[in-house]
Amino acid sequence: MSQLGKIFLGIAAAGIATALVFGWLLNGEYNDTKSNLHKEVIAKGIALQDAAKQKAAAEAAALAKQEAEKKLEDSQASVEDLTTKLTAANDKADTASKALDQAKADAAKATADLAAINDKLQGKTVDEIVAARTKAEQDLASSQAEQKIIADQLQAAQAQAEQYKKDINAKNIGFIPPGVSGKVTFVNHTWNFVVLDVGLSNGVVPNGQLIVYRKNSFLGKVKITTADANSSVADILPDAKGDIQVGDYVLN
Domain spans of the chain, in order of start: 1-103, 173-251
Q: For the segment 193-216, what is each residue's pLDDT rounded down to a tens digit? A: 999 999 999 999 999 999 999 998
Residue scoring higher pLDDT (137 or 57):
137
Q: For the segment 114-173, what is each residue's pLDDT rounded down to a tens digit? A: 777 777 767 777 788 788 888 888 888 888 888 889 888 888 877 776 776 556 555 556
Is residue 181 a contact partner of residue 251, using CB atoms and an 8 Å limit? yes
Q: What is the mean pLDDT of residues 227-247?
A: 94
Q: What's the mean pLDDT when you consider all of the chain? A: 81
In CATH, the architecture of 173-251 is Beta Barrel (2.40)
Local confidence band at 4 (pLDDT 50, 70, 90 cut-offs) = low
pLDDT of res. 185: 98
Q: Is the pLDDT of residue 110 over 80?
A: no
Residue scoring higher pLDDT (58 or 20):
58
Q: Is the pLDDT of residue 17 over 80?
A: no
**C-alpha closest to that of 174 among 247, 219, 235, 245:** 235
pLDDT of res. 208: 96
pTM above 0.95, yes or no: no
- Give the span between the Cα atoms of 46 and 44, in whole angstroms: 5
Is residue 230 a contact partner of residue 180, using CB atoms and an 8 Å limit? no
Cα distance from N-terminal residue to C-terminal residue, the chain = 209
Q: Is the pLDDT of residue 190 over 80?
A: yes
CA neighbours closer than 13 Å in the CB half-sphere of residue 134 = 6
**Burial class of residue 195 in the structure, from the number of CB atoms within 10 Å of its CB (0-12 exposed, 13-18 middle, 19+ buried):** middle
Local confidence band at 41 (pLDDT 50, 70, 90 cut-offs) = confident
pLDDT of res. 179: 92
Q: Is the pLDDT of residue 174 over 70?
A: yes
Q: What is the mean pLDDT of residues 176-183?
A: 94
